[in-house]
Structure 1
């Protein structure tokens, strides 16, 4: 979701995988990049690029930004660990005050010192309504943030918000640079300065982002001295360039990753995720907005077939934003494939089969368009399978490909094959997706979903630290999605990465984290590329 925008990721860290150096683009087997390049450089292929590199506009809000650091960070097991803070926060007994002691001696890449004022500046700017940050409501609980000297920051909350510490992986921006320019349009959005392990050396939009190791990084200078994220939107091209030696690694859909299974020089890494594919059913569409249509589609779809045939088993059926197996999943909300039941729901609601098999009610045909992102084969395959299942129930769905520039203006009326999902706390993957007040807010609540019981449960879930009460609130959300589905959730997808077997990490072996929808740029086996070492 963009802001965890459902479009695909933090305002546009959409489903990830970047693309080559110019030399590699013009000379696909050349030694300028990839496996044949210097031992201390790496090139990885991802599918999309960010719209901004400013933390103030959403970049790095979930960690792993490479250019920046947060107060805290996630380790391989998604446990919080200190980053710019020297330890985890001290939390008051009432859960309303979080105190962080900051690491001393840290400098931004321009040589200026990092201090508490940069933390205060970052959070206050994100919360400023004039800042174009679609994730602002993620910090709704934050009442105030202040510096106590140079090395202490105190956050005061308006209400107890259980996952607040996880929000403090937000990347910190330098006040002395970003504070002197327009937050939305200034040069900092494309030429950032941070405290992270890498410095941005170039951004050729639509082609690549290049980084070099930060020699003064407080965590130690990375062994990978040059890191390139090459933006290759087409899955097939990404696989071809990996095979040609232009890339050290890439994210690939299951069918293409399978082609490297017996390659002794490469390894495949599967990351468990919260990443789902879903169909938005916009309230403003006279067909897709009808509850009977929504409920019928919810059981007409064959999720298991999608997992088996489209994902080749690399995933599982999705019944909502929370994956089965999560402690927050509401047991009993699984929906089985039931075509006969779907037809009964439509019959009862007055949607009767017409002469061409498409149902009609009051002169309105049960038909609507479904858009998916051009070049994204997984979305295309999901869209086609969904339309095929819907047709069997008498609902005509016309699939259409387009860029986000084409799709976004149509989202209020037309369905979209979208993606989203965020691990960690259930507030992260549900509030922006379902809160009615966020309908039409960019890529938040793309379906304009509006359910008062869900709104109340979302507020209840984020306004208490009592885990049992929170579980009850999010159970309510998931059970309401059965009765009033504004989306048809299809699958949760495992991310597959193929990487040249020439890298190791200090603990030994590359790893992946449990990943959000956003992947490739901030996730994948290169989530900790600053810890990589060339194999001896």
Structure 2
């Protein structure tokens, strides 16, 4: 929805991923002074991933898109902690951690780990990385994620403490995200703002090359501290055209194609050369209301619009049943999601009644904004058609993504908007605080909503350390957001890709 939000699916290449013997490699011949790509086998070989678009930045402190994060996160870079396959926080570069008190977190670090440039991983590397992202001179767009940390304190070479300004329950979820990547201190000094072109972490893959707009290549790290990757090389190839991207997998020139059109699922599922991969993602899509704009100031109007939109028809007709019915701004895999929250049921008679009570028995005209992504435009067109049923003329305006961001963040001229939110940390705070808090939301609060009761809940969710109590807090918050009809949840996002039958052990 806005720059700091992460959209689409996050590609996870498991260390266990293998290629069956005999699969073809779609990598071009090596350039002069480069070694040839490894041959395929039961293990090893080169995995070619065809993607819709290129990364924009590979510096964890400046990454703002999934395309970038998915190249380096958990591959080139690692964090103190990570999320496992069940979304549970697990050790990574930190062996253990504890809360000394509400304001002090202590991490015991793994020994014998080295960055790709040979620099030892230790407490000094952790401090240097965190100091960099928090330094105003760095001007990192991710700095706000760490603004509760007052100081990173070295206790001994393999023990570090985070001293907080105030209690902050989502800390581990942020450290597990790409923002929490630990960077080689030598690389920080050597490359500075050019670090994007020279990623140096501790992960299972080494950065090899980046040809912008074309491909990024990673090689196996032979000195990795953990389980060795079963792949020798990974190539992320940029192929913007959907048909060409899928054809590369069908022809054996690539092994994975991300972001496939939903209308192609049946055809692709029938192929004996590939399989369609689907898994639940973290984000949601929704129709949002600027509650400070015209008729939308009236709760009854927002309730009427909510009651006039048949989201099930959108999921079936636009998305070919990819994704599930959303009931909340949070997806089911995000900590804090409440399955008991209910959005307004589809009821045209109720919608007309609410509009009449609000003083609009004959409806009105309103502007509906989205950006030039095909599925979002189609959703907006369906919504426009549905709202005609209650007399509302939703004039559709499709703009570039940059203009969309400008309108909902800066000029605030939007009314109804069709958008979404991808959760980068797996914790409710990431969505809730950015989207709905009066002060903390800032530019992210495109709903222009301010409610002291909700602010108190979201503040409480940040400091409460008891998981059960946090769940209860966020359940109340979601109930309030839906009660006040700030948005119409459409669907919970789903990761979608096609994978060659030669590949095993792949997941997103």
Using structure 1 for the length normalisation, give the TM-score. 0.78
Does 2:250 align with 1:243? yes
Q: Is the partner of 1:89 in helix, strand or coil?
A: strand
Confirm or deny: 8 A CA contact 1:178 1:188 kept in the other structure.
yes
After TM superposition, where is structure 1 displaced by more than 6 Å over at least 4 residues in a row? Answer: 59-63
1:349 to 343, 347, 358: 358
Q: Aligned-pair distance for 1:484?
A: 2.3
Q: Please say if residues 275 and 421 of structure 1, whose CA atoms lie closer than 8 Å, have aligned partners that are also in contact.
A: yes
- SS of the residue corresponding to residue 88 of structure 1 reads strand
TM-score by length of 2: 0.82
Match of 1:476 in 2: 476
Secondary structure at the residue paired with 2:306?
A: helix
> Match of 1:175?
185
The alpha carbon displacement at 1:172 in A equals: 0.9
Counterparts in 2 of 1:190 and 1:410: CA distance versus 1, 3 Å: farther
Q: Secondary structure at the match of 2:403?
A: helix
Give the whole-Å Cα distance in 1 for the aligned partners of 2:377 and 2:254: 25
Q: Does 1:286 pair with 2:311?
A: no
Q: 1:52 aligns with which of 57, 60, 71?
A: 57
Give the aligned partner of residue 533 of structure 1.
Answer: none
Query: In structure 2, what is the equivalent of residue 405 of structure 1?
Result: 402
Q: Does 1:383 align with 2:392?
A: no
Q: Which residue of 2 aligns with 1:368?
A: 367
Q: Give deviations 1:269-322, integer Å, cap 9, x for gaps.
A: 221122211233234543555544332222211111122223333322223222
Instruction: Give the 3 Å change call, closer, same or farther, for CA 221–17 of structure 1 in structure 2.
Output: closer
User: Is the contact between residue 372 and residue 401 of structure 1 (CA under 8 Å) also seen in structure 2?
Assistant: yes
2:276 to 243, 250, 268: 268
Q: Structure 1: which 5+ runs fail to align? A: 19-28, 354-358, 361-365, 513-523, 525-536
Aligned-pair CA distance for 1:402: 4.0
Alignment RMSD (CA, Å): 3.2
* Residue number in structure 2 paired with 1:496: 496
Say whether the 8 Å CA contact 2:367–2:397 is kept in structure 1.
no
**How far apart, in 1, do the equivalents of 2:292 and 2:213 lie?**
33
How many equivalent residue pairs?
472
Match of 1:426 among 425, 428, 451: 428
Q: Name the stretch that deviates more: 312-321 or 57-66.
A: 57-66
Matched, 1:295 2:303: yes
What residue is the counterpart of 2:156 in the other structure? 149
1:457 partner SS:
helix
Between 1:191-200 and 1:138-147, the stretch displaced more is: 138-147
* Cα distance per residue 1:491-536 (max 9 Å; x no partner): 11222222112223xxxx43x3xxxxxxxxxxx2xxxxxxxxxxxx
Q: Distance in 2 between matches of 1:121 and 1:372?
A: 39
CA apart distance, 1:64 = 3.3
CA contact (8 A) 1:275 1:493 kept: yes
CA contact (8 A) 1:267 1:500 kept: yes
Structure 1 residues 482 and 305: alpha-carbon distance in aligned structure 2, compared to 1, 3 A threshold: same
**Is 1:449 the counterpart of 2:440 in the alignment?**
no
Q: Which residue of 2 aligns with 1:518?
A: none
Identify if the C-alpha distance between structure 1 residues 405 and 323 changes in structure 2 by more than 3 Å, giving closer, same or farther: closer
Helix, strand or coil for the counterpart of 1:432? helix
Paired residues of 2:109 and 2:122 also in contact (CA < 8 A) = yes
- What is the Cα deviation at residue 248 of structure 1? 0.8
**Shift of residue 458, structure 1, vs aligned partner:** 0.6
SS at match of 1:55: coil
- CA 1:91–1:339 in 2, change beyond 3 Å: closer, same or farther? same
Residue among 343, 347, 352 paired with 1:338: 347
Counterpart of 2:33 in structure 1 is none
Are residues 261 and 434 of structure 1, via their aligned partners in 2, closer, same or farther at CA, if it must alter by over 3 Å?
same
Q: Distance in 2 between matches of 1:161 and 1:284?
A: 31
SS of the residue 1:177 aligns to: helix
SS in 2 for 1:333: coil
Between 1:300-309 and 1:36-45, the stretch displaced more is: 36-45
SS at match of 1:437: coil
Q: Distance in 1 between matches of 2:215 and 2:298?
A: 43
| Offset at residue 439 of structure 1 (A) | 4.8
